[in-house]
Amino acid sequence: MIASLNFLSIIITLFFVSFVIGFFIYELVKKRREAFQVLQNKLGLGKNYQNYQDLTLGLIQEHQRQLSQFFQLIKTCLQTFDHLSLAAAYWNYHRDILQYNSTFARLTGLSSQKGRDISIHEFPVFGSLLTKMTDDSQTVEIGTMQINIQRIAGDTDCFFILTDLEAQEVEEKEKRYLTHAIWHEMKTPLTVLKGYIQLLLEEIQEPELLKKCQKIDFQIERLEKITSQLRYLARPNETNNIPVKIQDFIDMIHQVLQSWQAEIEDRQVKVQTNFEEVEEYRDRELGFSQGDLYIIASNLISNTIRFNRPHGFVSVFLHIQHSSMVFEVIDNGPGIPEEMKDLIFKPLGHASYNGGKSQGMGLYLVKEAVRRGGGRIAVQSESDRGTTIRIFIPFR
């Protein structure tokens, strides 16, 4: 009897110990599965893995996929630089390979190389310069070339952008010469036309014909304004060293508005100006040249008048923001459709300030003027609700 009881107690004890061990194993497996699921969720892996070995293989595959996407992105970036005629290259500090675009190859003499990468340490002349750069911008002379090297550096990699300064200067001179030639060729016939139309305005008595001649005279004045902007572009250095104060810019705005007074009255556009916020800063000098400021003021103001709706309004404001003065022009015209916002600042593009079709140069000239002065442009527009353009002009 006692032996039976002892055997039964042993059986019960073993059963209890097995139950406890099984319970702990179950809890351990449960927590492991939960941790496994949390890890999968954090990693963002869509597939459900059954064990850590499969998860590790999945992570390796995902890493390889992301690496492939990253290198494709680098390739796309280099191609984009190519479209902008910028010589660009990419280097990962942990790899020996320098990836580059076609413009970079032509500038550095790598055109005969197959592919679009090379060992940076085997790259003649430039390899040593690039790996030993300590500043983010450096100008070097290589043979007869003077090259500026800009480095956009991260923790593990960087981009290099090379510019042939002599070729850039030659290109700028050619542009200025062409612009000056166009201005010169347009100036003489416009002067003759202006003289003839003034004689007609003095002689004609018939109201209908007189009105047509006045419209012709107005269009000739518009062409004269455009050619005056070409003169500023052709000779930018003439006005670069002349300090321009905020008060000078205010006077310029009033002058532009006065030149468009006839159109303002004809379209019955209400014009509002507010310069109170810059009252105490009127003697501060601006970082833009006089010519560039005229290009900005004349084009933005004329666009708000010409492309506005009849009986619309135009507001011109000046205010201070940090180390810049903000020139703000607002209208309640048709606005710019979303798909055309990227076109309005392109030369001979297909979108005007109000979203209509145009092939003008005005806003392109504005963009170039802002770029030269180191400023910034911000555009806010909604279809049928109007447009606001802000030009951030740094102080000198």
pLDDT tens by residue, 43-70 = 555 556 555 566 566 667 666 777 777 7
What ranges in 84-206 are assigned the alpha helix state H? 102-108, 126-131, 165-203
Residue 355, pLDDT > 50, answer no
pLDDT at 390: 94
The answer to whether 336 and 383 are in contact (CB under 8 A) is yes
- Mean per-residue pLDDT, 294-308: 88
pLDDT tens by residue, 368-388 = 889 888 899 998 888 878 899
The span from the CA of 357 to the CA of 344, in Å, is 10
Domains defined along the chain, listed by start? 62-132 (no CATH), 242-394 (3.30.565.10)
Categorize the per-residue pLDDT at 300 as very low, low, confident or very high, splitting at 50, 70 and 90. very high
- Mean per-residue pLDDT, 299-306: 89
Categorize the per-residue pLDDT at 292 as very low, low, confident or very high, splitting at 50, 70 and 90. confident
Higher-pLDDT residue of 382 and 237 is 382
Residue 365, pLDDT > 80, answer yes
pLDDT tens by residue, 143-186 = 778 888 888 887 788 888 888 888 777 777 777 766 667 766 77
Of 243, 242, 366, 246, the closest CA to residue 302 belongs to 366
The span from the CA of 313 to the CA of 330, in Å, is 8
pLDDT tens by residue, 75-106 = 888 888 887 778 888 888 877 888 888 888 88
Residue 228, pLDDT > 80, answer no
DSSP, res 395? B
Residue 267, pLDDT > 80, answer yes
The span from the CA of 144 to the CA of 151, in Å, is 22
The answer to whether 315 and 274 are in contact (CB under 8 A) is yes
DSSP letter for each residue of 2-23: HHHHHHHHHHHHHHHHHHHHHH
Percentage of residues of the chain with pLDDT beyond 70: 74
pLDDT at 38: 61
Phi, psi angle pair for 101, to nearest 5°: -105, 180
- The SS3 assignment for 268 reads coil
Of 374, 380, 375, 367, the closest CA to residue 392 belongs to 375
Phi-psi region of 113 (alpha: psi -120 to 50; beta: other; left: phi over 0): beta
Categorize the per-residue pLDDT at 317 as very low, low, confident or very high, splitting at 50, 70 and 90. very high
pLDDT at 240: 56
Strongest mean pLDDT among 119-133, 134-148, 294-308:
294-308
The answer to whether 68 and 79 are in contact (CB under 8 A) is no
pLDDT at 351: 45
E strand or H helix that includes residue 289 = none
DSSP, res 270? E
